[in-house]
Amino acid sequence: MAPAATETASRDAREWRSPLPWILPVAAALWALLGTGTPARDIALYGVYFLLAIVVPGTLVFRALFGSRGNWPEDLTLGTAAGLVVMLAGWALGAAFGLQSLLIGWPVLVVLPFLLVPGLRRCWRRGAGDPLPLGWHWAMAAVLLLVILWLATVFQDFPLPPVRFEYYKDLYYHLALVHEMTRSMPFQVPQLAGYELRYHYLSDADLATASMVTGIAPATLLFRLWFLAVTVAGVFAFATLARVVSGRWWAAPVAAAAGFAGQAVSFGSAAATFNSGGPVSLLSPSQDIAMPLIALFTVIAVDRLRGRPLGWGWAFLPPLAVACAGSKASVLPPLAAGLAAAGVVTLWRTRKLPWAAAGLFGVAVSGMLFGARFFAGGGAGVLQPQPLGTLRWLAPYTQTLGVDDGPRWGGLVPPGIQNAGTTGRAFIAWVLIWALLLQAPRLIGLALPPRSRGTGDPALPLIAGTLLAGLGATWVFWHPTASQVYFFAGVIPFGAVLAAWSLADRARSWRVPVAGAVAGALCAVLLPGVDPPARTVSAWAWTLAVPLLRLAAITAVVVVVVLVVWRGRARRALPVALIAATLGAGVASYTVQNAEAVTVPAAPRGDPRYQVTPLEMRAAFWLDAHAGENDLVATNVHCRPMSATTPCDARAFWVAGLGGRRTLVESWGYSDQAVARNGVRDRVYFYQPAPDRALFALNQRAFSTGDPAVVARLRDDYGVRWLFADSRAGTVAPALAQVATERLRLGTVTIYELGRQSG
């Protein structure tokens, strides 16, 4: 056989074998989904939707604008991220013109030109280049198994409703936004009808689109299918970025494992660090969808900075930037800083204007400005400059110097630091150092960057600058509920990419990285943690020091062994071993925790006072099934716990979230008006009173008295069509049955329907 024919046959054989490694993670995903109550029909339906509505159109658009990466996995990965943008564009058009019912045809409109236009048919085929080696497939499948192990623990911890459970309040908030995104613009705050919605809601829009097209319940999508899909998309997108910047295929699984199947080092007290988990979380769907989007933007930016022309691809970047800003406001600013760093470094090295970096920076800033105008709400406005403000969420500080800081901003530095003496300030420095040391799996690439920095590669200042900016913003800003940590959460995968790139650039064989990873994993698993004996500065200082002293002793032994075994190569081997050990420690910590957690059976979570009962959930689902799409609901549910009055933690959200309809006044804890009052009477913003106290009082009188005149005002003046009354939240007057039609009585909930306004 001719050499060319032999090579072609070999390449085809590798491509044919490449699906085999994925059988196990696919089976694991099905086990995780089916084992936690996800309907098999919904799994199949969403799989078809995601493939045909997201992956296929997005891959075609990506190849048309940016060309093929030369292999199917990376084309499909980046195409999936592009497909999210394409589908969001279709949703925006539908919401703007009231055409959401036609969304099922949007992917067809996108794909049609690729079938009819001869010049676009090439986009159905992989471009020139070699496929990824079989090792890439096996390694990425192994990483995906670790990610699915973590997802299985999440699915187990959050059962599908209806069930007696205390869901995290933001999940109800997002479910309400998903329903809101099925309506036409302009959007309103679903828990506070009539108020303009300003929030980064594009993750909810994507969920709403999937629900409208497939008919799958929003809770099933959010808690299971959508969350799994966008998490996997983020894993593969950053793996692609790692291979692109490093040029080594095995950097992809290393970065994916470190970024999404790893965590901060956990020996010692985890309470001493910030954001010990990963970059995605069920509790923040906005963060989840932002990961594949920002990775796609970065891959495109790296290509352009390295001299690859974008052509018509420039037209795709502004919508991509808007999608990033509308998904999570904290992801674009660090990337913009990284682009600025790349431009400055290029200017310094070449003495030429960095037009590519300037153009990309301009697109990123434009997206940020658009997002600030149309998406950012009051929560973002509470973000204040306060260096070291993140200490106010770390136990060593909050239990000692910061015990009296309170919910207010408190000045340019935390109040506890302002009054600290010399010993206190030394302790603060020690806590800061320790918190950063625990983040070594994310930051090691900054200490030991790729050696290619001498070649002037603009990708290095881009990735490193993005990581530094996210880290810096986390420690420079303050937010009353610690939302500044999302700046760092969004750049965790960038830190993994930088570390994997440095490892790939330095390693000359597999022996040293493997040995280092094993050593780091053993240290993380075997080193015991230490709890402080007392909540004092001296006790905490010693608690943080003990694990570090143990680690220093072990490190000294390892260094001696490396010097003896590798001798002349020790100078090269030590940095490689250190990077691998640090990454191995992070992955091992997370894997062991997840393996233990997945064996623990799920149990009802939280304080019964905060739990929503299955009957209450079923009542809300009944409302969703029987109320008109734009019907307005009044409810007496406002607080957590429901029986609370003053102060009221106004983050109930579940009536709008599960009931699917706008409420006149449900919970206002995240409203712009409440957030703006943060710190008033020394209370955090979600304990502030309702924005319209007169309307709130009117709403309450309707339920507590059943006064016909009050109920008539709700109906005639405000357009209320339904009353959702829960006796757990307060007194429900029997007289309501005289002025409204009882439609459902289920447990503690009674639902009444009001006649429509006459005339």
Would you say the C-alpha torsion 128, 133, 136, 141 has a positive or negative sign? positive
8-state DSSP, 196: B
Q: What's the pLDDT score for residue 526?
A: 75
Question: Counting beta carbons within 10 angstroms of the beta carbon of residue 694, is it exposed (0 to 12), middle (13 to 18) or buried (19 or more)?
Answer: exposed
Q: State the distance between the two ends of the chain, measured CA to CA, in whole angstroms.
A: 87
Q: Can you say whether residue 653 is alpha, beta or left, with left for phi > 0 and alpha for psi between -120 and 50 degrees?
A: left
Q: Where are the domains of the chain?
A: 3-266+282-381+439-506, 614-753
- Whether residue 632 contacts residue 719, with contact meaning beta carbons closer than 8 Å, is answered with yes
- pTM of the entire predicted model: 0.94
The label of the residue with tokens 């009536």 reads 655
Q: What's the pLDDT score for residue 380?
A: 52
- What amino acid occupies position 537? V
- What amino acid occupies position 275? N
Which backbone phi and psi does 745 adopt, to 5 degrees?
-130, 115
Q: Which residues of the chain have pLDDT under 70?
A: 1-17, 267-272, 377-381, 452-455, 528-533, 562, 566-570, 600-605, 756-759
Which backbone phi and psi does 496 adopt, to 5 degrees?
-65, -40
Q: How many CB atoms lie within 10 A of CB 324?
A: 27
Q: pLDDT digits over 695-728, tens only? A: 999 999 999 999 999 999 999 999 999 999 999 9
Three-state SS at 405: coil
What are 205's two structure tokens?
């829009």
Write out the H or E segment, with its range, that includes residue 242. helix 226-246
8-state DSSP, 730: S
Q: What's the pLDDT score for residue 577?
A: 86
CA-CA distances (angstroms) from residue 203 to 97, 142, 208, 525, 672?
20, 28, 9, 36, 20
Measure the CA–CA gap between 164 and 155, rounded to whole angstroms. Answer: 16
Measure the CA–CA gap between 296 and 702, rounded to whole angstroms. Answer: 52
- Whether residue 470 contacts residue 494, with contact meaning beta carbons closer than 8 Å, is answered with yes
What are 557's two structure tokens?
């032994």
Q: pLDDT digits over 354-366, tens only? A: 999 999 999 999 9
Q: pLDDT digits over 152-197, tens only? A: 999 999 999 999 888 999 999 999 999 999 999 999 999 999 999 9
